[in-house]
A and B are shown apart, each in its own frame.
Chain A
Amino acid sequence: MLVIKGLTKYFAKNTPHEVLAINNFNLRVKKGDFITIIGSNGAGKSTLLNLIAGALQPDQGEIRLDGKIITYQPEYQRARWIGRVFQNPLLGTAPYMSIEENLALSLKRERRGLRLGLNKYLREYFRSKLSELELGLEKDLAKKVGLLSGGQRQAMTMMMATMFKPKILLLDEHTAALDPESSKKILKITEELVEERKGDLITLMVTHNMKQALELGNRTVMMDRGCNIFDIQGEERKKIDINYLLKQFSKLRKQEYIEDRMVLG
């Protein structure tokens, strides 16, 4: 169970450029939930994922995972349970290291010591895992990742984010920078990997694609100006379509705007 309570994050606090990126955000996520997150540019989606992963620290609020408060735990410690894939395929892998080295780094996430990072059992394991991606990456494990295409790198990052059996998977528009074909492939891999862990993985996927947002997962959250403005799941969610979502979005935005005006006025 992931519980987010009253989470608030400012950028450039107390300066003329102050931005309230996350505004008293609340969310309770059950084990097995696959939430798609939508919202316009600058709504705070990436910031939310960064706060959950520990790459950013909030100004207020609390994040709990299975009852334990992790709000201020450093990013590298949370990495034991959190797998991430970023929008930019270049961010998730180390270009001058080989495929097998990248995979080895992602598998061993704590207490790194003086044991060899790679051995023949690991290589065998990587080969079998990579062949499931059907991209031919298993043929040359020593190849530098920088020589791969964006789609291949993103597929590797997907594998690196799930292979170690995380509790939480954070996907931030992870297909947005890819060509349509690679994008489809990565989505398929995403569904397969999440399916494999059905029931005990929490997945948060940010997407710009409303269709994706309703087709994937079991729950959809809409964000605007750092708030959770709309949250739908179950039977109710199955009934709605993109048009409904869009209408809902402009309605809620307007309402919020009016409320803001009332507070200010």
Chain B
Amino acid sequence: MTISLLLHALEQGLIFGIMVLGVFITYKILDFPDLTVDGSFPLGAAVATKIIFSGGNPLWGTFLAIIAGSLAGIITGLLHTKLKLTNLLSGILTMTLLYSVNLRIMGRPNIPLLGKETLLEEIKIHFPNISMNYLIPFFFLFLVIILKFTLDLFFSTEIGLAIIATGDNEQMIRSLGANTDMTKIIGLCLSNALVALSGAFFSQYSGFADVNMGLGTVVAGLASVIIGISIIRIPTIFWRTIAVVIGSLVYRLIMIIALRYGYRLGFKPGDLKLISVLLVIIALSIPIIKHRIDFITSFNLGRKDLQNNQKKEV
């Protein structure tokens, strides 16, 4: 393994880490598997790229990407809460409509940013002495840490706690005076804003936006969340937000290694999606398999406590 490979994994892990924080909010906090992200990730990329490509301010483009992502989340939220569609269907509908919207925004399936000034180059101007190779990971590390602490703070506010409670015991929090339609919409809005921000940065980092670049975002997000929380098992928001970013780093490292060395095992680049799904399945089945093993061995050890252990993992 080379330094450059690790550096790539670090950069991408952090950029996608922003998206993973978003997926964490819906999947883990709201208990809402949100498929919108397959559309809101390229939405962020499309908005930012379009503005930068037409000579606009990259900061403005990135900001508008966040707004666009929030709107996407709100649409899914409205479909789910007002029209009472299931969470999966609501996400699928928004994701699909976003495909057309993204094409409209971009005007064509692919926009390169070659020779255009992105936010990353603007930042570079302020740090002329640091090489881009180090500036990029530092910048994203800084950004992810700020986002992490902002989220931690948000989820300890009155409204943040109500959102957590919505995912934990919806009936209870409604009987305690929270409008759960509202808390769900806020959560989806926040989540997709982060996902779109991640898309906006990824397009500026990789130098292009493509209408198909969102494919598999959900699965990548889920894999990262699941890997992260099986590595760090402390169930508080403070540790969870660290865990899922670490999950994102591990996931990207696995993907980059698979891409770089996978051909020796006969893998092709097209197999990456299959690998990420396998990762999700394996990560999800570990607690179940572990429980089975505990269960079976408990008979040999006479451990009644383990036989009764029906505890769910958060």
**Chain A residues packing against B (C-beta within 8 Å):** 53, 55, 74-77, 79-80, 82, 84, 91-97, 101, 104-106, 108-110, 112-118, 144, 160
Would you call B158 and A96 a contact (CB within 8 A)?
Answer: no
Contact residues in B for A110 (Cβ distance below 8 Å) = 177
Q: Which of B156, B161, B172 contacts A92 (CB 8 A)?
A: B172
Would you call A113 and B159 a contact (CB within 8 A)?
Answer: yes
Contact residues in B for A144 (Cβ distance below 8 Å) = 235
Q: Which of B159, B161, B175, B180 contacts A104 (CB 8 A)?
A: B161
Known contacts: A75-B175, A76-B179, A105-B176. The answer to whether A112 contacts B169 by CB under 8 A is no
Q: Which of B156, B160, B169, B235 contacts A91 (CB 8 A)?
A: B169
Q: Which of A79, A113, A114, A118 contacts B176 (CB 8 A)?
A: A79
- For the complex formed, measure the closest distance between the CB of B185 and the CB atoms of chain A, giving whole angstroms: 14
A38 vs B162: C-alpha distance in the bound complex, in angstroms?
Answer: 34
Main secondary structure of the interface of B (DSSP, over half): helix
Known contacts: A55-B175, A117-B157. The answer to whether A112 contacts B314 by CB under 8 A is no
Q: Is B218 an interface residue (CB 8 A)?
A: no
Q: Is B71 an interface residue (CB 8 A)?
A: no
Residue among B161, B168, B175, B177 with the highest chain A CB neighbour number at 10 A? B175
Q: In the complex, what residue of chain B is closest to A74 when comparing beta carbons? A: B179
A157 vs B161: C-alpha distance in the bound complex, in angstroms?
Answer: 17
Contact residues in B for A101 (Cβ distance below 8 Å) = 161, 164-165
Identify 7 residue pairs between A and B in the complex whose beta-carbon atoms are under 8 Å apart, listed by A's number. A79-B174, A91-B169, A94-B168, A101-B161, A106-B176, A113-B158, A114-B157
Chain A proximity mask over B202-230: 1 for CB below 8 Å, otherwise 0: 00000000000000000000000000000
Q: Is B171 an interface residue (CB 8 A)?
A: yes
List B residues 128-187 near A (Cβ within 8 Å): 154, 156-162, 164-165, 168-169, 171-180
Q: Which of A80, A109, A118 contacts B156 (CB 8 A)?
A: A118
Would you call A116 and B168 a contact (CB within 8 A)?
Answer: no
Q: In the complex, what residue of chain A is closest to B179 when comparing beta carbons? A: A76
Contact residues in A for B168 (Cβ distance below 8 Å) = 94-97
Q: In the complex, what residue of chain A is closest to B173 when comparing beta carbons? A: A105
Residue among B177, B179, B235 with the highest chain A CB neighbour number at 10 A? B177
Would you call B161 and A84 a contact (CB within 8 A)?
Answer: no
Contact residues in B for A82 (Cβ distance below 8 Å) = 175
A75-B174, A79-B177, A114-B154 known; 19 new pairs, CB 8 Å cut-off, are A53-B175, A55-B171, A76-B174, A94-B164, A97-B168, A101-B161, A101-B164, A105-B165, A109-B176, A109-B177, A112-B178, A113-B157, A114-B157, A114-B158, A116-B158, A117-B156, A117-B157, A117-B158, A117-B160
Contact residues in A for B174 (Cβ distance below 8 Å) = 55, 75-76, 79
Would you call B158 and A112 a contact (CB within 8 A)?
Answer: yes
- For the complex formed, measure the closest distance between the CB of B90 and the CB atoms of chain A, giving whole angstroms: 21
A74 vs B175: C-alpha distance in the bound complex, in angstroms?
Answer: 10
Contact residues in A for B177 (Cβ distance below 8 Å) = 76-77, 79-80, 109-110
Would you call B158 and A94 a contact (CB within 8 A)?
Answer: no
Q: In the complex, what residue of chain B is closest to A53 when comparing beta carbons? A: B175
Contact residues in B for A109 (Cβ distance below 8 Å) = 176-177
Residue among B157, B180, B235 with the highest chain A CB neighbour number at 10 A? B157
- For the complex formed, measure the closest distance between the CB of B294 and the CB atoms of chain A, giving whole angstroms: 19
Q: In the complex, what residue of chain B is closest to A144 when comparing beta carbons? A: B235
Contact residues in A for B164 (Cβ distance below 8 Å) = 94, 96-97, 101
Q: Which of A75, A80, A105 contacts B161 (CB 8 A)?
A: A105
A95 vs B158: C-alpha distance in the bound complex, in angstroms?
Answer: 18
A117 vs B155: C-alpha distance in the bound complex, in angstroms?
Answer: 9
A53 vs B154: C-alpha distance in the bound complex, in angstroms?
Answer: 30
